[in-house]
Copies of this chain bind each other. A is one copy, B any other.
Amino acid sequence: MTFRAEVVVQLKPVVNDPQGIVVRESLLRLGFDGVRSARVGKHIALEIDAADEASARESVQRMCEQLLRNPVIEDYRVESLSAAAEPASAL
């Protein structure tokens, strides 16, 4: 079965985020006065084959641990995981 997973990798709250600071300053300059903070992270959308949802989730978590996030400065969370309609490439 094919599953679609979405992973969010964000800088830990204690880590300085220069990109987020620039985004906030740019928004303020554009007139969005209400912006208190902006933090920029990564969003990774995966399509994976797995036997069932539990093993898909376990597999995505191991991908995060091994490759997708830098454990020193980043946190991750698996935002969503669901069975996908068979992708076009497999038809």
A residues adjacent to B (C-beta < 8 A): 2, 8-10, 20, 23, 26-27, 30, 32-50, 59, 62-63, 66-68, 79, 87, 89-90
Number of copies of this chain in the oligomer?
2
Kindly name the residue among A9, A10, A30, A34 whose own CB sees the greatest number of chain B CB atoms within 10 A: A34
Expressed in whole angstroms, the Cα–Cα distance for A4 and B87 within the complex equals: 34
Chain B residues, Cβ within 8 Å of A43: 8-10, 40-43
In the assembled complex, 5 residue pairs joining A and B whose CB atoms fall closer than 8 Å, in A order, are: A2-B36, A36-B87, A38-B44, A39-B45, A40-B43
The residue that A41 contacts in the complex, of B39, B42, B90, with Cβ under 8 A, is: B42
Residue in B closest to A66 when the chains form the complex, CB atoms: B30
